[in-house]
Amino acid sequence: MSLRINSEAPNFTAETTQGKIDFHQWIGNSWAILFSHPKDFTPVCTTELGYMARLKPEFDKRNTKIIGLSVDPVTNHSKWAKDIEETQGTAPNYPMIGDPELKVATAYDMLPEGAGTTSEGRTAADNATVRSVFIIGPDKKIKAMLTYPMGAGRNFDEVLRLVDALQLGAKHNIATPVNWKPGEDVIIPPAVTEEQARAKFPQGWKTLKPYLRVVAQPRD
């Protein structure tokens, strides 16, 4: 199944380093980030998992849960966590899904249907496409997807910024411009009529083009 933005995030049950979960129940009324890895004990992913552990308090502030995935069994994840803590200074403080039968990786279109049903014998190169980030809303819909190659570390500061933009847009029906950072001006989408905009932004806005209206970021 091909996933797109606004597709429902496939639900699943799985073992994790923090016990068995039903994914949709685990998300609850929160936002969630599912970020995946092609294999345990891989160098780039080791740095990423440690960095996400350090960023977790920032995601907590945004009512956003973090969960990792690797195609290896949970027992391997626990061993890998020790290496991550030793080399990165912080062990994963969020659940890590074990996906030895490749069910989650396949459901999320990270591996083809013909990839088989076991992680046994597969190398990181076999699973190269299992390096994705899914941002999922409380409605269990996929809000954003990013996929990186094996050799380039992911920018999780950008994921945090993207969560800010998505949450602000969901709350206030606005859009964010290029390189937007929290506190900067935002855009009134074309679908918002002038009458609706006047009611929502009584302080006014700047019209650069009829389709490009810039307004101060809502604060509430």
**Enzyme catalytic residues:** 45
For 2, residues 6+ apart whose C-beta sits below 8 A from its C-beta are 109
Phi, psi of 142, rounded to the nearest 5 degrees: -75, 125
Token pair in block for residue 200: 């929502």
Task: Report the distance separating Cα 7 and Cα 162, nearest Å.
Answer: 18
For residue 36, what are the β-bridge partners? Answer: 69
Instruction: Output the CA torsion sign for 57, 215, 139, 134.
Output: negative
Phi, psi of 46, rounded to the nearest 5 degrees: -60, -45
CB 10 within 8 A of CB 132: no
